[in-house]
Amino acid sequence: MSSTVHSRRSFLQLAGTGLAVSGLGLVPMAQAATLPAPTVPAATGPVLLNFNECPYGPSPAAQAAVRDIVPGSGRYLFALAGEVRDTFAAQEQIAADRVRLYPGSSEPLNRAAVVWTSASAGLVVADPTFESLGDLAAARGATVERVPLRADGAHDLRAMVAAAQRINAGLLYLCNPNNPTGSITPADDIAWLLAHKPAQTRVLVDEAYIQYSDQPSLIGQVMQRDDVIVLRTFSKLYGMAGLRLGVAAAHPDRLRELASLGDNPVPVTALAAALASLRDPGLVAQRKAQNAQVRQATVAWLGKRGFSSVPSEANCFVVDVQRDGKAFVAAMAERGVIIGRSWPIWPQRVRVTVGTEAEMEAFRAAFAAVTERG
């Protein structure tokens, strides 16, 4: 065990040197813009609109980078992690020592529950929101205070701060845009949160969907404060859910606390795909526009039929189906369209992932068939 831990720590130390990567076959930045436009993977089986995945998969540049690096993946290629970290940090205009890579953003999310919640340090979350953090904190004996979203879908930060004071919260979780709703919490409200939260409460900001949104990122705060941790992922807009790469950005002291639970190298295939994605100057804008167009058209179609949705700026939305959500999800599945579930606080609302135009056409057909059946 001790040798394994040593090798993992050595990996991050070597990655942190930012050594140049050579001979890896990665696509240079200048060539990224010349690659063909993203294509849609061939559809097989049911339409999957349930896990907020990107239907376009990794970009062509990312796919090429993965193929090129596989022959060399018998090596750890430590320096590649440093290059990804440095490239990400430069794009976000933060110091590289404020960035740490993980195999998906769920890992630092779960680590946060272990490090900053306990029987004497509670957790405050919105309701509904991404649930794994709350589940893990509760399993560790922490008090978990769930504060309902406002009517507009924003986090009720004043109520959340009051809850943090009441339960001596070690952590307050802000998912912006929120999962499952895709709704945003305005920047002014977040500024109020940072000015009024209890001193002992860390703020964990999950920005898995920020690239789909028009909202400003909070990541610059990690250069100014030691009580804000920002998470990013390559699973959503970059289409790398199965490749697994996430980022935790925070003050170095907070990153060390997360790392105290051990280190694990990130797969080199994920690193290669991430670097190619970061180097593609048009990818984010293109996929953001694609997603917004399809989402807005779908929400408008639902609205014309009397089914309301929470305003969304992500690749998902929640719609009120005006009947039992679990039964509705099952009925859609019978028609070959797999959608997300309902939440205890909203038993008649279900989450839908935004797919391709063709996938949403199938969604509309199934939705019409189920609702017309009564």
Residue 256 pLDDT > 70, yes or no?
A: yes
19 pLDDT band, cuts 50/70/90, is: very low
- Residue 18 has what pLDDT? 34
- Residue 113 has what pLDDT? 98
Q: What is the DSSP pairing of strand 337-339 with strand 202-206?
A: unpaired
| Residues 317-344, mean pLDDT to the nearest whole number | 98
113-166 confidence digits (pLDDT tens): 999 999 999 999 999 999 999 999 999 999 999 999 999 999 999 999 999 999
- Residue 44 has what pLDDT? 72
- Residue 33 has what pLDDT? 39
Instruction: Please work out, in degrees rounded to the nearest 5, the angle formed at the alpha carbon of residue 110 by the alpha carbons of 54 and 236.
Output: 10
Q: Which two tokens stand for residue 300?
A: 């408008």
Residue 229 pLDDT > 70, yes or no?
A: yes
282-327 confidence digits (pLDDT tens): 999 999 999 999 999 999 999 999 999 999 999 999 999 999 999 9
167 pLDDT band, cuts 50/70/90, is: very high
| Cβ density class 8-45: b for 16+ within 10 Å, e for less | eeebbebbbebeebeebebbeeeebeebeebeeeeeee
- Residue 291 has what pLDDT? 98
- Residue 28 has what pLDDT? 43
- Residue 361 has what pLDDT? 98
Q: Which amino acid is at 166?
A: R
| Residues 97-119, mean pLDDT to the nearest whole number | 98
What is the pTM assigned to this prediction? 0.89
